[in-house]
Amino acid sequence: MANPKFNSKSPTIKRILREASELSNSPSADYQAAPASDADLFDWHFTIRGPPNSSFGKGIYHGRIVLPPTYPLRPPSFRFLTPSGRFEVNREICLSISGHHEETWQPAWGVRTALVALRAFMETDAKGQLGGLECPVKERERMAEASSLWRCASCGKSNVDIMKECAEAVKEKGEEKEVVVPSDLKMGWKDEMNSVETKHPAAEGRNIKILRSKEVEEAELAEGFVRTTGNDGPSDYPAARPAQGVTQPTGSATARVQPVITQRIQPQMAQRSNDGVPIWIDRMIAAICVLLVAMVLKVLLGF
C-alpha cells in the first residue's frame, strides 16, 4: 500500500499504514474501512452494518473518512454517502467531541474505535443537531432495506458485496476482534463547532499548551517514538551531578581556559539584533546607506 511519494518515516503516515494493515488483518463482519486508493492515504471509505434490533438493523451504509494532515493529533471526519434517515448525505460529522471541543479526542482511539462508536450512535436522537435527521421509523426501515444494493461510484462495489467480502475474511482469519467504545467518546457536529465561539482566557494559556504537548506525546507513544527532552523548554530530567567520592579537577588547563572562552563568546553572542544578525553588520549597512544618500544629494544639488 505504501507509495513512493509518501514519507514512510512520517509518524502520521506510519500511523495510517499501521491502522490500514490492522483493519485488514483483523476484519469485522460489521464494518470495514480502508484508503480509497493508494494515491491518497488520507481519503478513506467505510462500510458498516446498522446496529441490530433497531430501525437500521437491516441496513448497510457506506461513507467517507477524511484524515487530517496532523492525524492522529486531530480526529478524522466522517460523512455518510448512503441515505440512512439518521444523518444527512454527504454532511460532515465528528466523533470524540465533548462539548464541541476537539481536545477530548484521544490519538489512541483510531479509525476502528470511531467506526464502532459511529455505529452505536446511529440509534441516538438527532435532538436538533445540525446535519441530524428526524425520520419516521418506517422511512428508516425502507432506507435500510434499499441500502444493501447501494453502490459507491468510487469503490465500484455494492454495500452487500463489501460486507460479504468482510464476512469471508472473518471466517478465514478466525475470531473477530471485539472493540469496546470508550465511555468518554462522544459525538458533536463540525458545523456547530465552527459556529460556537471558543474562549481561552489568558490564564488558561499554559494549560492549553500542556494539553497539546500531552497529545503530541501520546501520538509519539503510539508510533514508538518518544522525545526525552522538550523543544520549548528544559529537559524533564534533573541536571547531571558529580559522582560522590570522585575528586573534580580544579587546576587543569581546561578549567583555566574555559572561563576565558566563555567571557569572550558571551558578549559577542549578546551583540545581535532581533533577527540574529550581528550588530556590527547592521551598523555597517546603515553607514553605507548614509554615504549613498549623501552622494545622491551631492549630485542633485550640484556640489
How far is it, in rounded angstroms, from Cα 15 to Cα 111?
Answer: 11
What is the pLDDT at residue 128?
67
Helix/strand/coil for 221: helix
What is the pLDDT at residue 274?
52
Give, in order, the Cα–Cα distances in Å from 278 to each of 37, 210, 260, 291.
52, 35, 21, 21
What is the pLDDT at residue 196?
45
Domain ranges of the chain: 11-198+206-223, 270-303
Contact predicate 131/88, CB 8 Å: yes
What is the pLDDT at residue 134?
86
What is the pLDDT at residue 286?
86
- Residue 90 CB neighbour total at 10 angstroms: 10
What is the pLDDT at residue 183?
65
C-alpha closest to that of 96 among 88, 87, 107, 85: 107
What is the pLDDT at residue 213?
55
Could you tell me the sign of the dihedral formed by the alpha carbons of 223, 117, 112, 46, in that order?
Answer: negative
How far is it, in rounded angstroms, from Cα 20 to Cα 72?
Answer: 13
What is the pLDDT at residue 245?
44
What is the pLDDT at residue 281?
79
Contact predicate 226/138, CB 8 Å: no
What is the pLDDT at residue 54?
94
- Whether 152 sits among the annotated catalytic residues: the reply is no
Is-cis flag, bond preceding 72, omega within 30? yes
Does domain 11-198+206-223 fall into CATH 3.40.50.300? no
Q: For residue 278, list its beta bridge partners.
A: 272
What is the pLDDT at residue 276?
57
Contact predicate 47/169, CB 8 Å: no
What is the pLDDT at residue 8?
77
What is the pLDDT at residue 129?
65
Question: pTM value?
Answer: 0.61
How far is it, in rounded angstroms, from Cα 106 to Cα 218?
Answer: 8
Extract the C-alpha cell encoding 20.
Answer: 490500514
Walking along the chain (303 residues) 10 residues at a time, the average pLDDT comes out as 67 95 94 93 96 95 94 89 94 60 78 89 77 88 96 94 94 76 61 46 45 53 41 36 42 42 44 60 86 86 71
What is the pLDDT at residue 77?
87
